[in-house]
Amino acid sequence: MNHRTSVAVALHRVTAGYGPRTVLREIDASVPARRVTALVGPNGSGKSTLLGVVSGVHAPVSGTVERFHRERPALVVQRSAVPDTLPVTVRETVAMGRWAHRGLWRRLTADDRAVVATCMARLDIADLADRPLGALSGGQRQRALLAQGLAQQSDLLLLDEPTTGLDTAAQRAILDVLADLRAEGVTVVFATHDAEAARWADHRLHLRDGRLAIGTGPEPTAAPSGSTAG
């Protein structure tokens, strides 16, 4: 199979961090195209940093990242990263996903508004369109942020802890949407420390102390010093 059609992202000896602090250490890994990959690890293991590197938001200190996709990656942040006091409605939140196409200052077109409406309907939040984002429940807010990611219409969707802190029904709703996206040919990568969510994914990358660990199950063994797994 052609590498460019079977792999969405390839990382080669990627090291990344913040100032003098190293968070990721020589990561060698690949993300399969048109599949759901769970990025697994405890808090502080480097999951968010790796998502930032894959998205292009965070530049690695060394190593290379190859992305084999058409559009700019869509990165969906943790809902806790969005302040409750942010004075935006659900519709405005989802519409921000069109900025990648329109730019910050250009008005949305009729097509843009149609995309926003479709994404809200798909996440079952159309009836919340005029509600302030800060007034939503955790599950509703996460669906609004996911709708914003969908509005970017990218074939590479990256999500940081999309099911953390949600009840079982809300988690299931998010995973069902991700399954639908996979069926449509979208590559999905989501960070999680939830073993059940990780078990549901097609592929897993396990981070521990900034390095990849061995195994594809929800709870891998630690990699020997100097080795990697992907």
CB atoms within 10 A of CB 225: 6
Question: According to DSSP H, which parts of 152-207 are helical?
Answer: 168-183, 195-200
3-class SS at 89? strand
Q: Which of 92, 169, 78, 188 is nearest to 131 (CA)?
A: 92
Gyration radius (Cα) of the chain, Å: 17
Which run of H or E residues covers position 90? helix 90-95
pLDDT by residue for the chain (230 residues), tens digit each?
344 459 999 999 999 999 999 999 999 999 999 999 999 999 889 999 999 999 999 999 999 999 998 778 999 988 666 667 778 999 999 999 998 766 666 788 999 999 999 999 999 999 999 999 989 988 899 999 999 999 999 999 999 999 888 888 888 999 999 999 999 999 999 999 888 899 999 999 999 999 998 655 555 444 333 333 33
Please report, for residues 17, 30, 56, the alpha-carbon distance to residue 60 in angstroms, rounded to integers and kept in the order given.
Answer: 7, 16, 9
Give the pLDDT confidence score for residue 105 in this predicted structure: 67
Give the pLDDT confidence score for residue 145 in this predicted structure: 93
CA 150 – CA 156 distance, rounded (Å): 10
Give the pLDDT confidence score for residue 69 in this predicted structure: 81
Burial class (CB within 10 angstroms; exposed 0-12, middle 13-18, buried 19+) of 26: middle
- The sign of the dihedral angle between the CA atoms of 176, 179, 184, 186 is positive
Strand partners, 192: 40
User: Residue 152 corresponds to which tokens in the numbers above?
Assistant: 């970017």
Q: What are the structural domain ranges in the chain? A: 1-70+157-166+187-230, 74-153
Length of the chain, please?
230
Is 1-70+157-166+187-230 CATH 3.50.50.60?
no
Q: Which of 47, 83, 49, 28 is nearest to 192 (CA)?
A: 47
Strand partners, 130: none
